[in-house]
Structure 1
Amino acid sequence: MIKSKAWDWSKNEDDYWLIPSIESCYLANSWASKGFNRFLDLGCGLGRHSIFFSENGFRVNSVDLSEYGINHLNSWAKKEHLDIETQVCDMLELPFENDTFDCIIAYNVIYHTDTKGFIKALDEIKRVLKSKGELFITLISKNTWSYQHADDYKRIDDNTILRDEHETEKDVPHFYVDIEDIKKYFVHFDFINVPIEQTEYNMENPNYFSRHFNIIARKK
């Protein structure tokens, strides 16, 4: 199993990572309607989802391997007068008791490892998520340009390559899946929605594109 590597958030120059994902409003409303309150932002980065869910009344825990990211979130939360519990930790060993959280977001997070690491990280999610709790997760598709051209990168295993085109995630592993992989790895979950594969194009070079699966799943 490859050692986890943090994003270098000190090199980030894109405000995209400060704005909650488009799914956040729906998730906050859906989870609040179900009485969910304990929320884990797994791989919180600079803290965009942590801030949003705390502002919407959730009790938020936030973890990330990047000390820079956690420090940024702490400063942001203090400025907004929000009480968010933060910790620097590896997603492979979450510092929480079993069945702690009602809901979890792992946005562009647990595919930054190899196959063994992905399985371990998903096991940790299952462990800390309550029965009938829900998970929103994004996974990178094997239909993505970089996987289709994996010969241009260093391969770790059948599902994993090392990419180096972005300074923030230089030499960070990327684990890719298809629908059959999702069915295999999520046997302990029921799908709230059919997994959605979304495509993001590089407008300067449309031949280069990224595809992700968006999944909302409930722990059995």
Structure 2
Amino acid sequence: MTNFPNPDENHASARAGWEHIFRGGDIPPRYRSLAEPNPQVVEWADTLPAGGLLLDVGCGVGRHVVYLGGRGFRIAGIDISPTGIRMSQEISAQRQIPFEGHVSPMTALPWPAITFDGALSTSAIHHQRRADLVQALAEVWRVLKPGAVFIADFPSTDTLDYQDMRTRVAAGQLTEVEPNTFVDESTSPDPMEDLFLPHHYCDAADLRDLLRHFEIVRLQADLRPVTTAQGSGKVGKWVVWARRPMTT
């Protein structure tokens, strides 16, 4: 008999992981930064109706809340970390940007259907097991208005990073909890990595299956060649633009 993971346990683990990240300490600074917006977000924002209502799925400390709010969009966001939401609310208030933030898993968005003019998730939505990822995408589809576009990025299986994951699994350093989903289940994971959170990697077929209820506007392998001490390969991510159809 298959033992399926308990969603409540998954969410509690994710909350603890993101709380560790957003409370600071010896962790990757990219998660606490209000750096320049993702270029894909800038391009996407140029296509949106002025003053539209947008949803940031996994908004963290407010990087894109600040950018999009500064461009005059109305912004809502969720994060499973109370600290992340608090930080987003604080920076929004400081910059006089209206922001509706909720502590929530991606799998149960606290808004009615057909609410948003667009949605985004950068470096966030892949941090869960595939069943939760399927449910999260269904929730995004539900709250989007027909014709609205969702943008996101996903780790690619065609990268050195993915090969490193496989090498670590073979060495007993990581667990592949399901196909192409990796997590460090040790009692003392490296705090400078975020591998205590699940990482789901995708190929094109997997992404098309995950997004089967959307119209795929863009499915781009944003990869570049590199050479490291471990060899040559590619780094980067999938970039996805997906539209809720006008009719269902």
Contact 1:36 1:102 in 2 (8 A): no
Return the structure number with greater relative CO, CA threshold 8 A, min gap 6: 1
Q: Indicate the residue corresponding to 1:133 in structure 2.
A: 148
Q: 1:86 aligns with which of 101, 104, 129?
A: 101
Whole-angstrom distance in 1 between the partners of 2:53 and 2:197:
30
Question: 1:218 deviation in Å?
Answer: 0.8
Whole-angstrom distance in 2 between the partners of 1:203 and 1:45:
31
Change (3 A) 1:201 1:37: farther
The number of residues matched between the two structures is 218
Q: Indicate the residue corresponding to 2:113 in structure 1.
A: 98
Change (3 A) 1:213 1:63: same
Matched, 1:124 2:143: no
Question: 1:219 deviation in Å?
Answer: 1.1
Question: 1:202 deviation in Å?
Answer: 9.3
**Local SS of the residue matching 2:23:** helix
**Local SS of the residue matching 1:213:** strand
Q: TM-score, normalised by structure 1?
A: 0.88
User: What is the percentage of aligned positions where both structures have the same residue?
Assistant: 24
Matched, 1:52 2:73: no
**Local SS of the residue matching 2:242:** strand
Matched, 1:26 2:47: no
Which ranges of structure 1 fall in alignment gaps of 5 or more residues?
none
Question: 1:25 deviation in Å?
Answer: 2.0
Q: Indicate the residue corresponding to 1:212 in structure 2.
A: 237
Q: Indicate the residue corresponding to 2:212 in structure 1.
A: 187
Which ranges of structure 2 fall in alignment gaps of 5 or more residues?
169-173
Q: Indicate the residue corresponding to 2:123 in structure 1.
A: 108
Matched, 1:159 2:211: no
Q: Indicate the residue corresponding to 2:171 in structure 1.
A: none
The aligned amino acid for 2:150 is L
Q: CA RMSD of the aligned region, Å?
A: 2.5
Q: TM-score, normalised by structure 2?
A: 0.79
Whole-angstrom distance in 1 between the partners of 2:127 and 2:230:
24
The aligned amino acid for 1:18 is L
Change (3 A) 1:199 1:112: farther
Change (3 A) 1:51 1:204: farther
Whole-angstrom distance in 1 between the partners of 2:150 and 2:218:
11
Contact 2:28 2:192 in 1 (8 A): no
Change (3 A) 1:121 1:207: same
Contact 1:114 1:159 in 2 (8 A): no
Whole-angstrom distance in 1 between the partners of 2:200 and 2:139:
17
Change (3 A) 1:134 1:122: same
Question: 1:85 deviation in Å?
Answer: 0.8
Structure number, greater radius of gyration: 2
Q: Indicate the residue corresponding to 1:10 in structure 2.
A: 23
Q: Deviations over 1:180-218 (max 9, x none)?
A: 111212122222224233348698977686431011111
Whole-angstrom distance in 2 between the partners of 1:208 and 1:161:
20
The aligned amino acid for 1:25 is V
